[in-house]
Amino acid sequence: MINARGSAVSIFVIMFFIPLVYAQDLPSYRKYDLGMNLAEVAERADIKVSEARMICERPEVIQELQWRPENSYNSSAQADPVGGIRFIFYNDELFRILVSYNHDRTDGLTDADLIESISVKYGAPTNPAETIRIYASSYIYSQDEQVIARWEDSQYSSNLFRESYQSTPGMLIFSKRLELLAQAAIVEANRLDEQEAPQREIDRKRKQEAEKKAAGQKVRPANKANFRP
């Protein structure tokens, strides 16, 4: 009886998650492949390119595009266990995919359930006793999460984890090479911002004063003509 029940649960989990990971190799998630450009991902996700957010513009261009089921016109998205996907681009090349699953649609699934399902496509995982850095909305704010299972080779890494605050599962897929380059670029961008902050403040005040002076000159003739002591 117990074995029959366990088999039924396993079949359910596999059927539940197979649509989530049908990539044929590590650097893919669903219909998204690492290496795609922003326009390609936006088209497949049915999102406008203009919705991409700039993380930094120099020394390299790093952008983020976010997909959520409510942003899709596809009605089947409402039953999708995925709650959101963040795509990060390095010089217009997708190198990081962060997947957040819906808590209600994954509630009750054990780590073993998740690993069994994902391993159907990714193969046998490792279970490193490590944490991985998750960037929630930018490379400035981050948090470390415990890795449940990892599928990787010399170039790419796919990681299953649970969010610490509500134990919801997530997946992080990234290019090892571009991840390092992006981190270095962010550090340099922050350094440049700090270095140039005093001059930017001077320029801001000068611009503010110039705009104030221009506004005063515009209304000066009328105010002068109407002024009475």
Token pair of 1, please? Answer: 């009886």
* pLDDT tens digits in sequence order for the chain, 229 residues long: 445 444 444 444 444 444 444 444 568 999 999 999 999 999 999 999 999 999 999 999 999 999 988 755 555 556 789 999 999 999 999 999 999 999 888 899 999 999 999 998 888 999 888 888 886 445 555 688 989 999 999 999 999 999 887 889 999 999 999 999 998 998 898 899 888 888 878 888 889 888 888 888 888 898 888 888 8
> What does the alpha-carbon distance between residue 124 and residue 154 come to, in Å, rounded to a whole number?
16
* Helix spans in 85-175 (H): 103-106, 111-122
Predicted structure pTM score:
0.75
* C-beta of residue 148 within 8 angstroms of C-beta of residue 127: yes
Please tell me the predicted confidence (pLDDT) of residue 152. 92
pLDDT of 229: 80
Task: Say what the pLDDT of residue 10 is.
Answer: 47
pLDDT, residue 161, reads 94
Q: How far apart are CA 15 and CA 26, in angstroms?
A: 20
Which pLDDT belongs to residue 90? 97
pLDDT at 77: 56
